[in-house]
Structure 1
């Protein structure tokens, strides 16, 4: 077949690809070579510090913008809200982060209110002007103020500071479960493509060397100085594991227990064999079910130093906040 014949076949072929996977390659926006995402340690608008290094096991989607943005930023966050909804249960391992490029006008309170208007799980990050430039440089992001031509408003002069917009990079920066910057997707990317790419990263196994993750750990201690620890165990790797024991310097003894119901009879059942943690699964330790039983907790304990020992991953150490009965912390 000559070149004219080949050219005639290209449009139908592309049309076929559009109907199936589309004419866009899955690696079109991949960040290569693979390398760790730039460091990101930034105050959260809601308080505390966001550290990207502490998000292992989650897929993080980062975007840059500002609350006075009339079009691009709300469109971006709306698209991320739809992404969260369309991913369903898988979205529990997705963290959306919005970093303000306008700290002069975006107070922490205003930024938190803004991002939570789209989704209460979204995090707003705010840096002071002096610290912002290095972060923008590390992520190769542009942000520049754009002032109106004041000569056009001579008949209607501004009564306060001259308003401005910010020309800024519009992109979705997608960091995988291992902390690697995998994708830099343009603002114009389609919703379906964004969902497919993020879902693909969510389905990837975590690094086996990272081991199980612990989420939502909290303890309740009674006036009798006994109590329980509740938490969620997340195994994002492709291998099975098992929680075999727990210990704490803040308690006389820690045992693995499970409440079993036999009609109205509730039985506290020790689990010396531990709790199985299958590959790519979550196991809930919650009131009325599996939990860690605490004995002889000191009266002044506000935090528990806890060590969980896994059959394959080994020890995982954490600090657990302690609540008194009636604190509504469970």
Structure 2
């Protein structure tokens, strides 16, 4: 589960006392706001590893350096592509430092193909190369891009039990639930303020992403030119505490294209969408494509040669 803060609101910081690393159930978090000025990124780059060092987390000097570098890259992307402030939340999970950057854009990032030395878009290439894990999720404020640094062997936090999550409050009460094997995140957390338990439970979202085919998309009213992006990608989601009982069981959410979704599909609904896509693919191949070929041949046969040239081809 990702806990985020809206831009302009600070998350509670960890107590100043050093954590007892023999008891990794102590989970610390720290949040801050970064203004819409790339000059502010330098301060954020220093703050993230400094806070992690203050917690006494057992990371190498190289990992602390990577922590500042990747924070800088993700924060820079958030500011550069939104021209708005972003919010940063970091926490120690017991095995990794997790950094979450929330910005106001709903467009989730995709790494570009290229080298780490390429100009532009190198941020996600670095994150992909150096982070133990990373990803992005939708958020009411826009989206969250997160990464984790620490052991890369997938070792779960020592308090995590396979097939079960547990949220323990600062008063000692514990709430547990089933953790599916397919879920990409474990909402297990300790020392949660009792008055925040309801919010934590409401935010639990067991999720597993799947990709869609990349196609050239254009939105003349939004951006210029053509951009490659995925269509009909999405996720399997389950929100066990959602007010809607239909979302307390796994459903599929499909992003038709950037910013356009088909939500809450049960197996029957997903089958209907798949059947319609199959039928439409058959229609495109069996009917539309031959009609297009015939139309182009007819057009070429009836147009004077001068009118068949592209305007960009010149005289």
- TM-score normalised to structure 1 length: 0.23
Q: Higher relative contact order by CA 8 Å / sep ≥ 6: 1 or 2? A: 1
More helix per residue: 2
- Flag the structure with larger Rg: 1
